[in-house]
């Protein structure tokens, strides 16, 4: 099942743009946890919380200041595991471009205009693979894997190679913007 939302550019209302519909559909069909890769400051996770029905939500945000805001938003919200790490296709550290004014566009890759003119800080962040994280945390089934990583989508998918090949990821949603085509 694929939800095609090609005319949804600049629609960040998760109820209207299909993201919550996709989550609810996946949760009604599949067992497992929900992973929010590229959680930023908890926008999607907060919108998803009412629909989890006791399932655990694992959020990944590698930028320390965004992670601190994520913690303040989600620290006391149910079965939530917050991780100050990014997911990719390797375990280690990578150089990262952080945009303090618009943290949602922070990326491993060059930040596109017009955001790049707002000031970008270069930092190093820790990453791991989705397969490694699942192994270390005993995750057998992923009902929904949400990816919003500003250009690293393919690398994140490569890091879930084993989970995807063994059909342990049941539903996958990713955002892909024109800045990273």
Q: pLDDT higher for 73 or 16?
A: 73
pLDDT recorded at residue 9: 54
Cα-based angle 53, 58, 64 (whole degrees, multiple of 5): 140
Yes or no: say if 124 and 64 are a contact pair by the CB < 8 Å rule: no
pLDDT recorded at residue 132: 98
pLDDT recorded at residue 141: 98
Q: pLDDT higher for 72 or 11?
A: 72
Mean local confidence (pLDDT), 109-136:
86
pLDDT recorded at residue 12: 59
Least confident of 12-16, 123-127, 142-146: 12-16
Mean local confidence (pLDDT), 130-159:
95
pLDDT recorded at residue 119: 78
In angstroms, the CA 18 to CA 109 distance is 27
Yes or no: say if 125 and 96 are a contact pair by the CB < 8 Å rule: yes
Q: Within 10 A of 45 (CB to CB), how many other CB atoms are there?
A: 24
pLDDT recorded at residue 105: 77
Distances from the Cα of 55 to the Cα of 48, 91, 106, 160, angstroms:
11, 27, 28, 20
pLDDT recorded at residue 19: 83
In angstroms, the CA 79 to CA 69 distance is 18
pLDDT recorded at residue 2: 46
What is the SS3 assignment for 122?
strand
Contacts of 15 (CB under 8 A, 6+ apart): 47
Burial class (CB in 10 A: 0-12, 13-18, 19+), 104: middle
Kindly give the residue spans of alpha helices, DSSP state H, lying in 64-142. 64-74, 130-137
In angstroms, the CA 34 to CA 80 distance is 10
pLDDT interval class at 22 (50, 70, 90): confident
**Residue 138 falls in which region: left (phi positive, over 0), alpha (psi -120 to 50) or beta:** left
């Amino acid at each position: 099942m694929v939800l095609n939302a090609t005319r949804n550019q600049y629609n960040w209302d998760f109820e209207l743009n299909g993201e919550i519909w996709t989550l609810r559909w996946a949760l009604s069909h599949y067992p497992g946890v929900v992973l929010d890769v590229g959680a930023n400051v908890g926008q999607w996770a907060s919108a998803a919380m009412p629909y989890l029905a006791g399932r655990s939500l694992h959020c990944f945000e590698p930028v320390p200041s965004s992670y601190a805001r994520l913690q303040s938003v989600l620290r006391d919200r149910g079965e939530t595991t917050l991780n100050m790490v990014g997911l990719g296709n390797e375990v280690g550290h990578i150089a990262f471009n952080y945009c303090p004014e618009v943290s949602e566009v922070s990326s491993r890759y060059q930040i596109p205009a017009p955001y790049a003119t707002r000031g970008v800080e270069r930092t190093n962040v820790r990453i791991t693979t989705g397969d490694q994280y699942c192994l270390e945390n005993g995750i057998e089934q992923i009902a929904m894997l949400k990816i919003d990583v500003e250009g690293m989508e393919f690398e994140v998918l490569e890091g879930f190679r084993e989970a995807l090949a063994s059909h342990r990821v049941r539903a996958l949603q990713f955002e892909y913007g024109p800045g990273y085509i």
